[in-house]
Copies of this chain bind each other. A is one copy, B any other.
């Protein structure tokens, strides 16, 4: 079975005191896992607006503790309780996030209706923080003003695909199909051994999504995200404000595109735009000389890869 990555951008603007643009949050669906990535103020409203089923979110990943990436988290945690959720929820984020959430729950005399787990991150090296039968999630250490990680979401290699015509021709019982998809050979009633490759096709190439926000231009990430299906890379500034990248720990659209090109990813999505800019097309214009397949993230936009 071939699967797709589905990405919904709930918000993708930098902290924006004078604007109605949403701060950072997005939802990734990968092999039936629905993952919430960052959680700026208003995320619970954006989830509703985009008709995301709250109950399906089991994991929330927080890149760093700047307000525009996590001030909506307590609202989401609390609302899940009001909805009488019972499924466990795990929060992944920098050390300190657990203390902060537990303090708020204590002060509100609140508790969650569901088991709430934490996986605090402190490593400066890439680290696997979630692994299940379908996916692996690894941190991508980034370069920002405070401790920040991106996240690399990878599908695991799927089952082999059944060559149904070949199976029918050899009159193989359906009961063996699962074994075959898992790579097993088959011995027919007459004793002939049929090799798995005669009965199957290669599985789909696993897909992957690299989320890199917020970060300055940082070539150290290139090897880790090599060949990713899609890269979301922040592009806070256009070239005209490139001098602001260093003091703020952010990137330009051109820098994001250079990282995408070096990593040989298939798609680049830009986001985390400073709200000083009116026309997002300028971001495309400055990125394409370095990398062709570039997309503009925007609030409420969906991508399928």
> Which of A's residues lie within 8 Å of B, judged by CB?
15, 17-20, 41-42, 44-45, 48-49, 54, 65-67, 71-72, 74-75, 78-79, 82-83, 94, 96-97, 99-100, 103-104, 106-110, 145-146
Query: How many chain copies does the complex carry?
Result: 2
Residue of B nearest to A66 (CB): B108
In the complex with contacts A41-B41, A100-B107, A107-B96, A48-B20 CB distance below 8 A: yes
In the complex with contacts A41-B44, A41-B72, A78-B15, A109-B145 CB distance below 8 A: yes
CB distance from A83 to the nearest CB of B (A): 5
Contact present for A45 and B17 (CB under 8 Å): no
Contact present for B20 and A108 (CB under 8 Å): no
26 contacts between A and B (CB under 8 A): A15-B79, A17-B83, A18-B48, A19-B48, A20-B45, A20-B48, A20-B49, A41-B44, A41-B75, A42-B42, A67-B74, A67-B75, A67-B110, A71-B75, A71-B78, A94-B107, A96-B103, A96-B106, A97-B107, A99-B103, A100-B100, A100-B103, A100-B107, A103-B103, A109-B145, A109-B146
CB distance from A78 to the nearest CB of B (A): 5
CB distance from A296 to the nearest CB of B (A): 23
Cβ-neighbour of A146 out of B66, B96, B108 (below 8 A): B108
Q: With the chains together, A295 CA to B291 CA distance in Å?
A: 59
CB distance from A31 to the nearest CB of B (A): 27
CB distance from A85 to the nearest CB of B (A): 10
Give every chain B residue within 8 A of A78 (Cβ-Cβ). Answer: 15, 67, 71
Q: With the chains together, A48 CA to B19 CA distance in Å?
A: 8
CB distance from A146 to the nearest CB of B (A): 5
Q: With the chains together, A18 CA to B53 CA distance in Å?
A: 11
CB distance from A174 to the nearest CB of B (A): 44
Q: With the chains together, A42 CA to B72 CA distance in Å?
A: 9
Give every chain B residue within 8 A of A54 (Cβ-Cβ). Answer: 17
Give every chain B residue within 8 A of A20 (Cβ-Cβ). Answer: 45, 48-49
In the complex with contacts A17-B82, A104-B100, A45-B48 CB distance below 8 A: no
Q: With the chains together, A41 CA to B106 CA distance in Å?
A: 19
CB distance from A214 to the nearest CB of B (A): 12
Q: With the chains together, A83 CA to B97 CA distance in Å?
A: 26
Give every chain B residue within 8 A of A145 (Cβ-Cβ). Answer: 109
Give every chain B residue within 8 A of A71 (Cβ-Cβ). Answer: 71, 74-75, 78
Cβ-neighbour of A82 out of B15, B44, B79, B146 (below 8 A): B15
